[in-house]
Amino acid sequence: MVDDATRTAWQVALETAMRDRDRANATVSFFAEKLGMAVPSEAVVLGPGEPEAEVEGARNVGPVPVTDGEFYGMSQPKAAAAFLERAGRSRPQRTEAVMAALRKGGIEFGGKEPTTSFYTILQRNPLFHNVGKSTWGLSMWYPHAAKKGKSSTGATLSEDAGSEPSASGPSASGPSAIEDEMREDAAEQSVE
C-alpha cells in the first residue's frame, strides 16, 4: 500500500499533468482552427474506476484538413458524410468536431440549439452510425451494426437485420455513392 505522503505527491503531480494537458489541447485546437483544419477530438483518457465501455469512440490522431468554403452549397448530411469519409473509418468524429469542420467548410447552423439539431439530423439519417457518446462514423463502415430507418418491407431495418440489405438500401452506399450524390448536388447548384 502507498503511504499518505506518496499518495499526496502523486495526486499533485497528476493534477499538474492534467492542467498541462488541457493547455496543450487548447493550443492544438487554436492552431488547427487557424490552419483551417477540423478541431481534433479530445483524447480518451480513463480516470480511476471508469469502465472502458463508457469512453469508446473518438480517437485523437490529428486534425482532418478542411478548406474555406469546401462544403458550401451542400446539405448538412452530405457535407458531414464527405468530412467523415475524409477522416476515415479508424477516426470517428465527435459532433462538435464535425460541426467545426463544416462551419470552416461553409455550412451554417441555425436554431436555438444548433448542436442538438445537428445531432438529431445525424441520428435520423441512415448514412451515419453513432459509435459512442456523440461520436459518429459512416454506417457503411459498420455493416453488422443494427440499421436505422425503414426497409422495403416497411419494418424498421433493425427488425429486418437478419436479411441481406438490398442493393438500393443505405448500407449499399459506399464512397462512390456518396461521391455521386455530391456530384449531383454540385450539378444542381451550377444549373441554378
pLDDT at 190 exceeding the cut of 60: no
In a domain, 13, yes or no: no
- Asked if the structure places residue 166 within a domain, the reply is yes
Give Cα 44 distance to the centre of its chain. Answer: 14
In a domain, 125, yes or no: yes
More confident residue, 25 or 82: 82
In a domain, 6, yes or no: no
**88 Rama sector, left if φ>0, alpha if ψ -120 to 50, beta otherwise:** left
105 located within any domain:
yes
pTM: 0.50
In a domain, 16, yes or no: no
Tell me the C-alpha distance between 44 and 54, whole Å. 10
Judged by phi (left if over 0) then psi (alpha if -120 to 50, else beta), residue 151 lies in beta
> 167 lies in which domain range?
35-191
Across 28-57, average pLDDT:
51
**CA 102, chain centre distance (Å):** 11
Q: What is the pLDDT of residue 70?
A: 92
Q: How many angstroms separate the CA atoms of 160 and 29, rounded?
A: 42
Distance from C-alpha of 175 to C-alpha of 131, rounded to nearest angstrom: 19
The pLDDT, as a whole number, for residue 18 is: 77
pLDDT(124) > 80:
yes
- The answer to whether 56 touches 47, Cβ cutoff 8 Å, is no
Do the domain assignments include residue 17? no
pLDDT of residue 181: 54
Task: Name the domain count of the chain.
Answer: 1
Higher-pLDDT residue of 156, 97: 97
| pLDDT at residue 53 in the model | 37
Mean pLDDT score across all residues of the chain:
73
- C-alpha cell belonging to residue 138: 459512416
3-state DSSP call for residue 8?
A: helix
Q: Going edge to edge, which strands form the sheet with 93-94?
A: 93-94, 135-138, 128-132
Asked, for residue 24, whether it belongs to a domain, the answer is no
User: Which pLDDT band, with edges at 50, 70 and 90, does 82 fall under?
Assistant: very high
* Per-residue pLDDT band at 138 (split at 50, 70, 90): very high
Three-class SS string for 177-188?
Answer: HHHHHHHHHHHH
Q: What is the DSSP letter of 135?
A: E
